[in-house]
Structure 1
Amino acid sequence: SAAFHDIIVVSTQEELAAMRNFASYTYVQGGKSRQASLNNALQEVNTEYVMVSDIARCCVTTDMIQRILNAKEEASCIVPVLPVTDTLYLDGNPIDREKTKIIQTPQLSRTTLLKKALQTETLFTDDSSAIASLGEQVHFVQGSTKAHKLTTVEDLQKVTCLKEASHRTLTGFGIDIHPFEEGKQMFLCGVPIEVDYGFKAHSDGDVAIHALIDALLGAAGLGDIGELYPDTEDTYAGADSKVLLRDTVKRIETYGFTIGNIDMTIMAEAPKLLPYKNEMKSTLASLLGIRQNFVNIKATTSEKLGFVGRKEGVTVHAIANLTYTNWKEL
């Protein structure tokens, strides 16, 4: 809208990079509290007014925003409200509900005053209470029942503006290569392989899981394994790749994706993997939270060509299919 100079989104540090993939807004790292996060965002604001909204109110209407903007000259903070329709008790005594209001967001404030109001150790639950603490006037406008705040799973049933999840399938491809190293334990798909050599790597070297992680991240548009678990950090020295895969799955589910199926090809002249395939499939299925028949693992050779053919290492190709989680079934 022409009424807004910029849109600023506050998120955790780990979510910043992923969010930048979805829209070209201004992104700011949040703090340990709502107030700290808001303070961080306000450092990017130089306009006369700032409108702040909870991301949990995903059904804010255009009419509601326009009512707030139309009233901007009325006070230092413009707040949408709803009347209380239920009976209220406080400490066992009834409250006159005519004197109460349900406060909503977004709220429009004069930027300089909001910045000033937040420079205190007092924690405010919204902008209007911060502005009021300065002795400034707060003006109320009609809110919207559609702007319901998502707090519990049951609140999802009150959301009317969100469409059902798309049925589109998102596909990602991953590839990884590791050379052999004598005297190390070999892991493939989280399963220990009984040979006297393993993989040269910063972590445990599970080349199959590494390729799978890249496929999952690719489908979700969340970067690659090197960005999330860099081999330059001591944290991941000798890391268990199963732990990294679990973390990746949790991350993907947090962003609203469901794993459909995975397919993998392991190119290895040695070792022979047929005796391990069933255990590898069941291990991956458990780590991914999907049925075993949705995990396919193929093993092949390179017909003695290249470094794989010379028994110097292993290459793995992986494909992962994701769908959007149906939020109505949560």
Structure 2
Amino acid sequence: MSDLTLVLLAAGNSSRFKVPVKKQWLRIGHDPLWLYVTNRIKESLPDATIILSAHADEIPFMTPLCDFTVVAGGETRQQSLKNALKEVNTPYVMVSDIARACIDPDLIARLIAHKNLADTIVPALDVHDTVVYGDETIERERVKRIQTPQLSKTEVLRRALKSDTEYTDESSAVVASGGTRYFIPGDPRAAKITHTADTASLECLESPSSAIFTGNGFDVHPFEEGKPMVLGGVAIESPVGFRAHSDGDVAIHALIDALLGAACLGDIGMLFPDTDNLYKNIDSKLLLARCIEKLHSFGFVVLHADITIIAQTPKISPYKDQMRRTLASLLHIPPARLNVKATTTEHLGFIGRSEGLGVIATASVHYFDWKHG
């Protein structure tokens, strides 16, 4: 059994990345970046325990894709690390950031080879440009660019992080608490992804797969007297609306399920449970907009959607074009890539008896092509 636990931090909000996709979910082939980086380092540490710190809302979508422990992160990098350290039971812990994608196996080996020389072993790069702090020129020989992964003695790091001071790396906390630090040569290839342009220089990252994924959705609601009817995001002239927790927009609900199905992100009840009063009588267009934000942040782009409304009443044809344009706008696709159809059940069943209606939806998505914009 290994004496080492690998902790990877992936709970950040990617606020500086400036694209709809969170950088943790950029696709490398089919794998999101967090999985690609973890598996890449894991090859150098086959016996190590692996712990990933992630945003709490993303954990249900991560755990089906991996076989390692995923813990909820905190508001800061340091809090995320402290949460992860609660699960560490080995004498040594190696900590890195998911954003540092192209870590070479040689760097991992050098860290381990020097683990007995100090409380924390740190890869660092020399600075070759002139360095000015305020109006003072600093001796560049004394300046280093600190990288991760960093290998630390677990108990030393735990004690160091009890401080209320926020540190941007582990070694700074260790040194501030009286521990020792040893520098090894870093690797320029282990650059960190902070801004979108940073991905251009990372040769280890292949383009996302060009595969297309399709999902389907189905929903049905009974009619309710005296309630306004909204269908496909459009107000429909009708004496009845839908009995539902939200506004009951059956078309949007089916479409959301189709989109989530295509991206393998669960279903509408997982995202917007009808037991939550937050969604009581909510406009379903807001739910669809939030669904699209989720898809985008997880690395997906909508390609196409097709909706079939099954209704004896009301008459759908006068509203189809308005539905098409409304929904296409919410999906960020042109109306030419969204189709709305309507049919009846020839008076059969509860739909035929005008007691309610149902909708079938199909949607296709693909990965956001971060490599080519």
Which runs of 5 or more residues in structure 2 are unaligned? Answer: 1-42
Q: State the identity %.
A: 50
| Structure 2 CA distance for aligned equivalents of residues 3 and 284 of structure 1 | 48
Higher mean C-alpha deviation, range 231-240 or range 79-88: 79-88
Displacement of 1:4 in angstroms is: 4.2
Contact kept? 1:21, 1:221, Cα under 8 Å: no
**Aligned match for 1:184, one of 227, 230, 253:** 227
| Structure 1 CA distance for aligned equivalents of residues 261 and 49 of structure 2 | 29
Contact kept? 1:79, 1:105, Cα under 8 Å: yes
Match for residue 110 of structure 1?
Answer: 153
- Indicate yes or no: 2:146 matched with 1:87: no
| Structure 2 CA distance for aligned equivalents of residues 326 and 40 of structure 1 | 33
| Cα deviation code 1:67-100 (max 9, x no counterpart) | 1111111111011111112221101221111111
Match for residue 179 of structure 2?
Answer: 136
| Cα deviation code 1:269-293 (max 9, x no counterpart) | 1111000000000000100000110
User: Superposed, which structure 2 residues align to 1:236-251 within 5 Å?
Assistant: 236-251=279-294
Displacement of 1:327 in angstroms is: 0.8
Name the SS for the 2:342 alignment partner.
strand
Match for residue 233 of structure 1?
Answer: 276
**Aligned match for 1:203, one of 246, 258, 265:** 246
- Indicate yes or no: 2:210 matched with 1:167: yes
Match for residue 7 of structure 1?
Answer: 50
Count residues in correspondence: 330
Displacement of 1:10 in angstroms is: 1.1
| Structure 1 CA distance for aligned equivalents of residues 104 and 264 of structure 2 | 29
Match for residue 293 of structure 1?
Answer: 336
- Indicate yes or no: 2:321 matched with 1:278: yes
Match for residue 188 of structure 2?
Answer: 145
**Aligned match for 1:75, one of 115, 118, 124:** 118
Cα 1:159/1:326, change in 2 over 3 Å: same
| Structure 2 CA distance for aligned equivalents of residues 220 and 71 of structure 1 | 43
Match for residue 310 of structure 1?
Answer: 353
Match for residue 48 of structure 1?
Answer: 91
Runs of 4+ in 1 over 2 A off after TM superposition: 1-5
- Indicate yes or no: 2:145 matched with 1:96: no
Match for residue 22 of structure 2?
Answer: none
Higher mean C-alpha deviation, range 204-213 or range 54-63: 54-63
| Structure 2 CA distance for aligned equivalents of residues 70 and 314 of structure 1 | 67
Name the SS for the 1:328 alignment partner.
coil
| Structure 2 CA distance for aligned equivalents of residues 67 and 316 of structure 1 | 59
Match for residue 162 of structure 2?
Answer: 119
Match for residue 329 of structure 1?
Answer: 372
| Structure 1 CA distance for aligned equivalents of residues 345 and 64 of structure 2 | 37
Displacement of 1:21 in angstroms is: 2.3
Match for residue 155 of structure 1?
Answer: 198
Match for residue 16 of structure 1?
Answer: 59
Contact kept? 1:189, 1:206, Cα under 8 Å: yes
Matched letter for residue 14 of structure 1: D
Displacement of 1:12 in angstroms is: 1.2
Contact kept? 1:166, 1:324, Cα under 8 Å: yes
Matched letter for residue 276 of structure 2: E
| Structure 2 CA distance for aligned equivalents of residues 224 and 143 of structure 1 | 44
Higher mean C-alpha deviation, range 78-87 or range 287-296: 78-87
Matched letter for residue 286 of structure 2: V
Match for residue 24 of structure 2?
Answer: none
| Cα deviation code 1:171-191 (max 9, x no counterpart) | 111111111111111111110
Name the SS for the 1:246 alignment partner.
helix
| Structure 2 CA distance for aligned equivalents of residues 214 and 6 of structure 1 | 36
Name the SS for the 1:108 alignment partner.
strand
Displacement of 1:3 in angstroms is: 5.3
Which runs of 5 or more residues in structure 1 are unaligned? Answer: none
| Structure 2 CA distance for aligned equivalents of residues 300 and 145 of structure 1 | 61
Higher mean C-alpha deviation, range 278-287 or range 320-329: 320-329
| Structure 1 CA distance for aligned equivalents of residues 306 and 159 of structure 2 | 56
What RMSD in Å do the two structures reach over aligned CA positions? 1.1
| Structure 2 CA distance for aligned equivalents of residues 24 and 179 of structure 1 | 42
| Structure 2 CA distance for aligned equivalents of residues 268 and 238 of structure 1 | 22
| Structure 1 CA distance for aligned equivalents of residues 48 and 195 of structure 2 | 33
| Structure 2 CA distance for aligned equivalents of residues 189 and 49 of structure 1 | 56
| Structure 1 CA distance for aligned equivalents of residues 344 and 189 of structure 2 | 59
**Aligned match for 2:109, one of 66, 73, 77:** 66
Structure 1 length-normalised TM: 0.98
